Amino acid sequence: MLPDWADRGQIAAILLCAGALRLSILFLNGQKMVSDLSAVVTGASSGIGKAIALAIASAGGSLCLVGRDRDRLMAVAESCLLTARSVLAFQADLNNDYALEELTRYVEREFKSFNTLIHCAGIVTVGHFEKISVAQLDLMYRTNVRAPYTLTQALLPLLKTQKGQIVFINSSQGLQASAKNAAYASTKHALRAIADSLRHEINAEGIRVLSIYPGRTASPAMESLYKAENQSYRPELLLQTGDVAQAVINALQLPRSAEVTNIEMRPLIKSY
Ligand SMILES: NC(=O)c1ccc[n+]([C@@H]2O[C@H](COP(=O)([O-])OP(=O)(O)OC[C@H]3O[C@@H](n4cnc5c(N)ncnc54)[C@H](OP(=O)(O)O)[C@@H]3O)[C@@H](O)[C@H]2O)c1
């Protein structure tokens, strides 16, 4: 059951402030520190995005969570509230230009401390080249390439003022395309190009750009993929979403003298 404020058509925008007593404290070099990460996380309602949101919350950061599924988004927001400095949630289909514009205005208006943009929203469809339709390719392009491109462009002015950070959750398919992945891998190759080019352009302004290239990671999307391939799903043999989240947080919290540009990850024992 959702509260009244969450029932306003397509866009549900809320501000939930956790009390100072709920801040989780990091211990670094013997000193108490609360993370200054203030992140917009797309795809926060599920899988890797959810794990990253929870990790930032645990570090005492601030969040603006973005996803389509309102109930799952609100459930993640409630969990994050236990430890985060503040939590905003914004329901949006990122394939909708109007929703992207609304999200941008919302972040500008409500998320004053915003300094980190994390792109996790993404979709995957695999199959033989002759079977994946152009419509499926177009949908993956819109979600995996056009949406993060557009949102980054819109929020870059704010990130510049904060000397912020941008994270693109890419895929091992963004580095090396395997069979039955032509469409998905092409979108992730494009995403890599966007990150690399952008990094060259904006590093000089103090903005860090990170791409993460995970192999198969246990998530709802991966479970559906195994089902579609008629294979038994053994999540314990895959990367865990928390593994990816930990790598992201570690890179984001490095001293400003350093930048991690690319992280390749895979399960320790590869089962696929
Ligand atoms: N799992 C893996 O093995 C793996 C490996 C490498 C890379 N990746 C990448 O990691 C990212 C996350 O994947 P995942 O496995 O965590 O998938 P997931 O559990 O299915 O989560 C996908 C997330 O993206 C959101 N999303 C999808 N389309 C959207 C749209 N049009 N507008 C707004 N939000 C949208 C979903 O929101 P709703 O649920 O609210 O619709 C959900 O929060 C993707 O970019 C994927 O390519 C995953």
Centre of ligand 1 from the C-alpha of residue 109, in Å: 26
43 confidence band (pLDDT: 50, 70, 90) = very high
Residue-wise pLDDT tens digits, 141-180: 999 999 999 999 999 999 999 999 999 999 999 999 999 9
Report the chain's mean pLDDT, rounded to a whole number. 89
Asked, for residue 135, whether it belongs to a domain, the answer is: yes
* Lookup result for tokens 């038994």: 232
22 Cα: distance to centroid of ligand 1 (angstroms): 29
Residue 123 falls within a domain, yes or no? yes
2, part of any domain = no
Max distance between CA atoms of the chain, in angstroms, equals 58
Has this prediction a pTM greater than 0.95? no
The predicted pLDDT at position 34 comes to 58
In a domain, 3, yes or no: no
244 Cβ below 6 A of ligand 1: no
Residue 106: inside a domain: yes
141 C-alpha to center of ligand 1: Å? 13
The b/e string for 73-111 (b: 16+ C-beta within 10 A; e otherwise) is bbebbeebbebbbbbbbbbbebbeeebbebbbebbeeeb
Q: Is residue 63 part of a domain?
A: yes
Residue 66 included in any domain = yes
User: Does 125 sit in the ligand 1 pocket, CB within 6 Å?
Assistant: no
Domain assignment of residue 247, given as a range: 11-265
Ligand 1 pocket test: pick from 40, 46, 50, 118 the residue with the most ligand atoms within 8 Å of its Cβ. Answer: 46
Say which residue, 181 or 22, is predicted with more confidence.
181
Answer whether residue 101 is part of any domain: yes
- Band (pLDDT 50/70/90 cuts) for residue 30 is very low
CATH number of the domain within which 86 lies = 3.40.50.720
Number of domains the chain is built from: 1
Chain segment 241-263, per-residue pLDDT in tens: 999 999 999 999 999 999 999 99
